[in-house]
Structure 1
Amino acid sequence: MKQITTLFLKFAVIFLGVPILALCIFLVPKIGNFAGEVYLNIAYMKSLVLIDMYAAAIPFYFALYQAFKLLSYIDKNQAFSELSVKALQSIKYCAITISTLYLLGMPLYYLMAEGVDPPSFIPIGWIIIFSSIVIAVFAAVLQRLLQEAIHIKSENELTI
């Protein structure tokens, strides 16, 4: 039963990556072109938008890889190990990096939102920032709980 649930979660991790890959391939270049068209006088606007969005995709995929590794540790009965703690720590840092990159890019998205009638870039940016912060806090809580469980487990092994 345990391997079926982790297999399901592994598929979920893979399916989380597919839409973001599609967005990176098809939508991000269009957003960059839009930014370049709206602000013709700012030559580097398109490049800044592309760099910000693609730079945020790198920690996203690294976090997905770490989540996949964490599920593999659970399959191998190594859930309560330092490897799991390090995977959660990496996920936390990736989420913080994503929120920081989008926070630094918010002035760009604000400029782009001025060129659109309903300013849709600003709320999407804030949703991504807030979601990343929630994921970082959740990973930090799980990391601390896992460290405490490992500590209790090692104390119990020593007393027996």
Structure 2
Amino acid sequence: MKRGSTLFLKTVVILIGIPILAVCIYGLSRFDPNSPYWQLPELANLQYPLLIGMYAAMIPFFFALYQTLKLLSYIDKDEAFSESSVKALKNIKNCAITISILFVLELPVLYMLTKVDDTPGILIGMVVIFASMVIAVFAAVLQKLLENAIDIKSENDLTV
């Protein structure tokens, strides 16, 4: 793989992270407890569980982006078929599973928010869960393929 394509992928990963970081810093900090929206009795107890869930999901998301950048740097260094690449894929898979679990735990809060305010909270939660599981399955398949390729490569090195 040429260096330009991994540079493009690194740029895309960074461009994915910037808006999410902006939402985490600016968007979620706008959850003002004194806002009239959160003063409704039905919503008064939903703000903090929602914030805790979102910020908790932010940690594995950014760790997965970091692991993706590490994986791309391994590819740049021609270390794509190494144990460190397998470890990075395993970490990405675990982060995606963690995000799915966190959003499954967050679904009751999103459901209560949907009941009070006409928001698509459940739909958004389900999309995040589905997308995270797709990423986890894809990373698991790549991890297994990479482990098999490393085994084949080590067997070929021993026969020569």
Shorter-chain TM-score above 0.5? yes
1:41 CA drift (Å):
6.2
Q: Report if the CA contact (8 A) 2:46-2:113 is conserved.
A: no
Distance 1:51 1:32 in 2: 14
1:153 paired with 2:142, answer no
Point out where structure 1 has 5 or more consecutive residues left out of the alignment.
none
Residue in 1 aligned with 2:141? 141
Identify the residue that residue 109 of structure 1 maps to in structure 2: 110
- Distance in 1 between residues matched to 2:38 and 2:45, nearest whole Å: 11
Counterpart-to-counterpart distance in 2, 1:142 and 1:38: 48
State how far apart, in whole Å, the 1-side matches of 2:17 and 2:40 are: 31
**Where do 4+ consecutive residues of structure 1 move more than 6 Å?**
none
Report the CA distance between 1:28 and its aligned residue: 2.3
Aligned-residue CA RMSD in angstroms? 1.9
Q: Which residue matches 1:51? A: 52
Residue 87 of structure 1 is matched in structure 2 by 88
- The CA distance in 2 between the partners of 1:152 and 1:143, in whole Å, is 14
What is the CA–CA distance in structure 2 between the aligned matches of 1:6 and 1:67, rounded to whole Å? 11
SS at match of 1:37: coil
Conserved 8 A contact 1:39-1:45: no
The CA distance in 2 between the partners of 1:86 and 1:95, in whole Å, is 14
Structure 1 CA distance for aligned equivalents of residues 16 and 43 of structure 2: 34
Distance 1:77 1:65 in 2: 19
- State the alpha-carbon separation in 2 of the partners of residues 55 and 41 from structure 1: 23
Alignment-derived partner of residue 8 in structure 1: 8
TM-score (norm 1): 0.91
Instruction: Mark the runs of 5 or more structure 2 residues left unpaired by the alignment.
Output: none
Question: Per residue, is there more helix in 1 or in 2?
Answer: 1
TM-fit CA distance, 1:27 = 2.5
Number of residue pairs the alignment of both structures matches: 158
Task: Kindly indicate whether the alpha-carbon contact (under 8 Å) linking 1:38 and 1:115 is maintained by their aligned counterparts in 2.
Answer: no
Gap change, CA 1:49 and 1:39, over 3 Å in 2: farther
Q: Distance in 2 between matches of 1:11 and 1:42?
A: 39
Quick one: distance in 2 between partners of 1:52 and 1:32?
Answer: 16
Asked if 1 retains the 8 angstrom alpha-carbon contact of 2:42 and 2:116, the reply is no
Identity of aligned residues (%): 56
